[in-house]
Amino acid sequence: MNVPEGLFYTKEHEWVKIDGNLAKIGISDHAQHELGDITFVELPALHAPCEQFKQIATIESVKAASDVYAPLSGKISAVNNEVVANPELVNQSPYEQGWLLVIEITEESQLANLMDAEAYKNYLKENM
Amino acid sequence: MPIQYEGIINEHQWTRNNCSVFDICHMGEFMIQADALLSNLDKVLTQNLVNMPLKTCKYGFMLNDNAGIIDDVIIYRIEQDKWMLVVNAATAPADFEHIKKHLAKDNVKIDNVSNSLAKLDLQGPLSREVLVEIAGEGILNLDYYGFDYFSVLGENIIISRTGYTGEMGFELYINNDKVIDLWNLLLENKNVKPAGLGARDTLRLEVCYPLYGQDISLKTSPLEAGLASFMDMKKDFMGKAAIEKKQQQGLGKKLCCFQTESRRAPRHDYEILVNNQKAGIVTSGSYSPSLGCGIGMGYIAEQYSDIGTEISLEHENIKINAQVVKRPFYKKGSLRG
């Protein structure tokens, strides 16, 4: 499974790319692989508030519906409408074109609750 | 059998356009030597066995006295008094006990061969030509729901023109020790790819075939499931009195098909609401690769079951708009060639 360096990860298999006070969010390669063919993505409204580890979006595959959780608190500053129109982008390019949304973060200290690439790799090894 | 090999949607499309092989070894098979009437076998099943031509199959039910469905089965008439019943895996042990209990003891032989007989399904518009290469031109003589013995890999195996996808297709029954060879032989043809349980489910749902344990069960009868045509009401069978009673009293609910307005899929156990009133429950649901939207089946109170009724499918914070539609969802299948 592809686990790029430089990103943060959650136990629920979201990834986070930090750029100043903006956090771009998606699901990991492992997550897209486990879900299988993704058929539907529901994203939150722009400017909606979000809270760390609370549900923020929904992804459905042929197999099942799954929740996506906010890795960090803040408010939604961008959503990727491309994945709403073409949900298969999440399978094809989970870290690039398949990004889901951007959060303007309010509590940088919450990053301590996330894993770096190495920790996430170990987490996958231990839990799979 | 795995859920998927290269992905449910690819496997689904490959089956609709080419040919897939499914490992269905988990299904149960019983071999029965019995006169249909004298043994009571005809009474255990809702279909008329007496008028079945040799080398044909019928889809039917075993019901309990309340007309609850013990299982849905395919009956094969091998000889005048020789039958094969193909049953669901989870229900096979209980089915076997039920049949044994109700069959006469004399001149009857029943064997549960589920553990020694394997089953592969070959499904898709190209399946007939693929199989001709392996089993010979005799395959071309099989009508829909017909079967025969064919020489394959040095064995005499049953091949029936049946399936669970809505496409031209066949089910192959072979001894366990040869099934891997057969699997590999089928996959030597470049038009054939393996497909898993996930695609099997989306394929059957698109053509509205019921799945036992979800769409039909001990709590439902063939009437509310819309499957009355698989019961012969001119003969006697277990559960018939309860069916007649239900016919007089009305059903209360009906198994309906519905299509969503988006790509979002209904799922098993989502609630069905009409005008914010609880009207039923989803029994099967998925994204439909052929239609590009969500599809499902579920039981809806009869007054809300008309084609065109706007319904809402709800679960926790999920709310999906849908419409009751005619079955099947997918109408272009190659089933009848």
Q: What is the pLDDT of residues B192-250, one digit of tens each?
A: 999 999 999 999 999 999 999 999 999 999 999 999 999 999 999 999 999 999 999 98
Distance from CA of B242 to the nearest CA of A (A): 37
**Interface contact flag, B287 A36, Cβ < 8 Å:** no
Predicted local confidence at residue A1, as pLDDT: 86
Set of chain B residues whose Cβ sits within 8 Å of the Cβ of A62: 8-9, 198, 202, 265, 286-287, 289
CA distance B260 to B324: 9
Predicted local confidence at residue B255, as pLDDT: 98
**Interface contact flag, A40 B7, Cβ < 8 Å:** no
CA distance B198 to B19: 16
CA dihedral B44, B50, B56, B62 (to 10 degrees): -10
Pairing of strands B192-195, B19-23: parallel
Predicted local confidence at residue B103, as pLDDT: 96
Predicted local confidence at residue A37, as pLDDT: 96
Distance from CA of B287 to the nearest CA of A (A): 6
> Who's near B225: CB < 8 A, 6+ residues apart?
B69, B210, B215, B216, B255
Regions of chain B short of the pLDDT cut 50: none
Predicted local confidence at residue B88, as pLDDT: 98
Secondary structure E strands in chain B: 19-23, 28-33, 57-63, 69-79, 82-87, 109-112, 117-123, 147-152, 155-160, 169-175, 192-195, 253-260, 271-274, 277-288, 293-301, 310-315, 318-325
The rounded mean pLDDT for chain B is 97
Predicted local confidence at residue B48, as pLDDT: 98
Pairing of strands B82-87, B69-79: antiparallel
Q: Nearest chain A Cα to B263, which residue?
A: A40
Determine what percent of chain B is predicted with pLDDT higher than 70. 100
CA distance A72 to A50: 8
What is the tens place of the pLDDT at every residue in B90-105? 999 999 999 999 999 9
Set of chain A residues whose Cβ sits within 8 Å of the Cβ of B318: 58, 65
What is the tens place of the pLDDT at every residue in A14-36? 999 999 999 999 999 999 999 99
Predicted local confidence at residue B30, as pLDDT: 98
Helix/strand number for chain B, H first, E second? 7, 17
Does the pLDDT at position A79 exceed 80? yes
A93 at the B interface (CB within 8 A)?
A: no
Set of chain A residues whose Cβ sits within 8 Å of the Cβ of B9: 37, 39, 62
Tokens 């309860």 sit on residue: B242
CA B224 to each of CA A106, B73, B104, B227: distance values in angstroms, whole numbers, following the listed order? 55, 18, 31, 8
Q: Which of B162, B164, B256, B171 is nearest to B209 (CA)?
A: B164
Q: Using beta carbons and an 8 Å cutoff, which residues of B are at the interface with A? A: 3-4, 7-10, 198, 202, 262-265, 267, 286-287, 289, 294, 318
* CB nearest B287 (choices: A42, A58, A62): A62
CA distance A76 to A89: 21
**Interface contact flag, A60 B265, Cβ < 8 Å:** yes
CA distance B322 to B308: 9
Predicted local confidence at residue A128, as pLDDT: 77
Q: Is the dihedral of CA B90, B93, B94, B98 positive or negative?
A: positive
Predicted local confidence at residue B295, as pLDDT: 98
Predicted local confidence at residue B263, as pLDDT: 93
Sheet architecture: strand order including B192-195: B147-152, B155-160, B169-175, B117-123, B19-23, B192-195
Tokens of B261: 């307005």
Tokens of B64: 């309990």
**Interface contact flag, B287 A60, Cβ < 8 Å:** yes
The rounded mean pLDDT for chain A is 96
Tokens of B1: 């059998």
